[in-house]
Structure 1
Amino acid sequence: MSKIPRDSISPDSRDSEYPTLCLDSKHEASIHSATDDTHSIHQLLLWSRLREYCRDVFSEFFGTMILILFGDGVVAQVLLSNGQKGDYQSISWGWGLGVMLGVYTSGASGAHINPAVTFANCVFRGFPWRKFPIYALAQLLGAMCGAAIVYGNYKSAIDVFEGGAGIRTVPGYSTTATAGIFCTYPADFMTKTGQFFSEFLASSILMFMIFALKDNGNLGAGTLTPLGLFFVIFGIGACFGWETGYAINLARDFGPRLVSYMLGYGHEVWAAGNYYFWVPMVAPFLGCTFGGWIYDLFLYTGLDSPINTPWIGIKRLFGPFHRRRVVMPSPV
């Protein structure tokens, strides 16, 4: 399609929400009037104003919900079909797609969809700390909603697989357990140290690669960042996911785990794996912080990182205390 020269567009139409070509003054006035009316209506509508105010919250909620819909959905399909509708590689594909589509959904808020990613952005990229609890809550509720939807969709198949409508079991306690659809459980041979290191390593790789994809001073992925994240998650799942299920996300693991407990899977959702449940809650924060620190220390040159300030950010950390210090005037 040929391009239209900018000179053929009237100055008024360039500023209009809907640019038009060679319009007479009456037509231009009517379009400007319609645009102004639309803007005024949006200002008056309560829902429009509420949506604008809460857009970040809605964005993180639905982005995380999409992540869980595709992630838990693929695990359910592979498990409940006894491997006839996919295998472990299918699970890696599903989670990769879930992250990519979740990022596309939540782009307005920065597409964190992970409390540990939000935390690392607060530490290294100046993201407002006041938004951290709001983002984390939205992500947790989105994950819970996604898990509940997956359960509703596969409830009949779960009943058949478990052997009855009232039977709900957890990995390690049954050969027909389905709790693994919703959250992660470690392999039987894993020690607590091994569990923690596996989640820590996967989370470190995740944050390192997120910073790399977003670093325009390096190569950067630009608008292809969601696709890059698809391959990151696929790679983590394919290479490091077997031992603990690569939760790498408190909201992704704790939210659906809580839903499974509410649905009747019992106390075992917390006790399984020698009380493994706390590992995906703590390790991702430490891992993402470490991965972000490694990237900034050796590769990142942006001045928004505390690593690139005097004393590797320590001076900035204590800066407010220095600024509050009162200098008394000399008596001389």
Structure 2
Amino acid sequence: MASTGVFFYVYPGIASTASFLLNETNPAFGSLLQVGFAFGFGIAFAIITSMTICFATWQGFPWKKVPYYIFAQIFGAFMAGLFVYGQYHEQIVAYSAATIAAGKGTVFNGGPASIFCSFPGETQTNLGYLFMIEFFVDSYIGIIIWACLDPANPFVSPQAAPWAIVPKSTLQNLADGIPTPLPLNNPTNYILCLAYSTMVWAFADITISTNMARDLGTRLVALIFFGREAFTYHSYSWISILVNIPATLFATAYYEMLMRDSLQKIGKGAAVHEHGEEGLNLHLTKSGISGQQQGPLSPGMQKVFSLGSQGSTLHEGHKMEPGFSLAAENRTNGGI
């Protein structure tokens, strides 16, 4: 499943790139807008390599299974590259002959090899600059993914939030050999598609990769057909292959430490509500997160939790946290 998902992500993206480059960027055959949409559409099907590592880091996915998933993802991208090369073989050979005759070779930004993987422009010789571009693009994507996975996020409907990308339960089922369909019809996938496409439109002209499996798998195809320079050109390949992993770990750590709702910590037993379980239960009920109240309230709790003209309160004179008020409103209105 992991191989198939990455194949469906990489295949339309590099095929769109091939159509765009091989026709000399003729708008009739494609554009950067088309390439962005192609990769954005495909990412809804994929399990991102850096996210697999983040699931193991934060969500309890077994570390011993991570290498198998990463290998499967790289293999899926590799097969997508082989398919596209086979389908565009005649055009790629002709384009390679033209670029070689022009003295450019085949491995450069905009060259035949760049159909399959990223290469920096001729003037992009500062690796620190390229590192910064890749790191912050990947961090942006990582935060959006992790925000969609947060069930307490009021800006994504509660029914859809846990299923953004591929949830831990799906990864675990797949790892255990249980046939589990990927949530391809989920609204949050469209959030990721748009976020991913936006990064392509904004930064593709200054070189990004965004995914280890997508880059390494197709770079191996470029190695086969265009030689070692696919890995040695401007000493860039390590950035495109590896930087997305620490960037996504940084993004998810930022979210976990600064943006994750404290309610989940209470649920896991890492923290407690100041009024105990009864207070937590009423808080969930008032916010709309819990559908029913468990048992009658004590007189003290009836006084502490009161409904006034300004909405629910945790203490007399203090409003409930805005995030939960918004979550309750979203639930009432069917979500955002």
> Into which bin does the TM-score normalised by the smaller protein fall?
0.5 to 0.7
Q: Partner of 1:185: helix, strand, or coil?
A: coil
Shift of 1:124: 1.7
Kindly report which structure 2 residues correspond to 1:79-228, keeping only aligned pairs within 5 A, or say none: 79-84=21-26, 85-100=29-44, 102-103=45-46, 112=47, 114-163=48-97, 169-171=106-108, 177-190=111-124, 191-218=126-153, 219-220=155-156, 222=160, 223-228=186-191
Q: Runs of 5+ in structure 1 lacking a partner?
A: 1-58, 104-111, 311-332
Deviation at 1:163, TM superposition (A): 2.6
2:210 matched residue in structure 1: 248
* From 251, 271, 277, the counterpart of 1:291: 251
What RMSD in Å do the two structures reach over aligned CA positions? 2.5
For 1:291, the aligned partner's letter is A
Which secondary structure state, in structure 2, belongs to the residue aligned with residue 216 of structure 1?
coil
Q: Deviations over 1:23-81 (max 9, x none)?
A: xxxxxxxxxxxxxxxxxxxxxxxxxxxxxxxxxxxx10000011111111110010011
Q: Which amino acid aligns with 2:35?
A: I
Normalising by structure 1, what TM-score?
0.66
1:309 and 1:122, CA in 2 relative to 1: closer, same or farther beyond 3 A? farther
Q: Give 1:228 shift.
A: 1.3
2: CA distance between counterparts of 1:300 and 1:157? 50
Indicate whether 1:269 and 2:230 are aligned.
yes
The aligned residue for residue 66 of structure 1 is 8
Q: TM-score, normalised by structure 2?
A: 0.65
Report if aligned partners of 1:214, 1:220 keep a CA contact under 8 Å in 2.
no
Letter in 1 for 2:112: T
The 2-side partners of 1:138 and 1:309 are apart by: 35
Residues 1:76 and 2:18 aligned together: yes
Question: Which amino acid counterpart does residue 247 of structure 2 have in structure 1?
Answer: G
Distance in structure 2 (CA, Å) of the matches to 1:170 and 1:278: 16
How many residues align? The count is 235
Partner of 1:280: 240
Contact map agreement 1:124 1:304 (CA 8 A) in 2: no
Give the % identical residues: 25
Q: Secondary structure at the match of 1:170?
A: coil
> What's the CA shift string for 1:293-321, capped at 9, x where partnerless?
1111222126479x9959xxxxxxxxxxx
Is the alpha carbon distance of 1:298 and 1:165 closer, same or farther for their aligned partners in structure 2, counting shifts above 3 Å? closer
**Conserved 8 A contact 2:99-2:111:** no
Structure with greater helix percent: 1
Distance 1:308 1:71, change over 3 A: farther
Is contact 1:159-1:165 (8 Å) kept?
no
The structure whose RCO (Cα within 8 Å, separation 6+) is larger is 2
Instruction: Mark the runs of 5 or more structure 2 residues left unpaired by the alignment.
Output: 161-185, 272-336
Shift of 1:220: 2.6
**CA distance in 2 between partners of 1:309 and 1:156 (Å):** 61
CA distance in 2, matches of 1:233, 1:253: 15
Helix, strand or coil for the counterpart of 1:209? helix
Q: Of residues 225, 230, 233 in structure 1, which corresponds to 2:196?
A: 233
Given that 2:17 and 2:115 are in contact with CA atoms closer than 8 Å, whether structure 1 keeps it comes out as yes
Amino acid at match of 1:177: G
Q: Is the 8 A contact 2:78 2:221 kept in 1?
A: yes
Contact 1:147 1:256 in 2 (8 A): yes
Check 1:251–1:143 CA distance in 2 against 1; reply closer, same or farther (3 A cut). Answer: same
* 1:164 Cα deviation after fit: 6.9
Instruction: Note closer, same or farther for the CA distance 1:142–1:153 as it changes in structure 2 (3 Å cut).
Output: same
Contact persistence 1:159–1:166 (CA under 8 A): no
Distance in 1 between residues matched to 2:3 and 2:98, nearest whole Å = 33
| Conservation of the 8 A alpha-carbon contact between 2:143 and 2:255 | yes
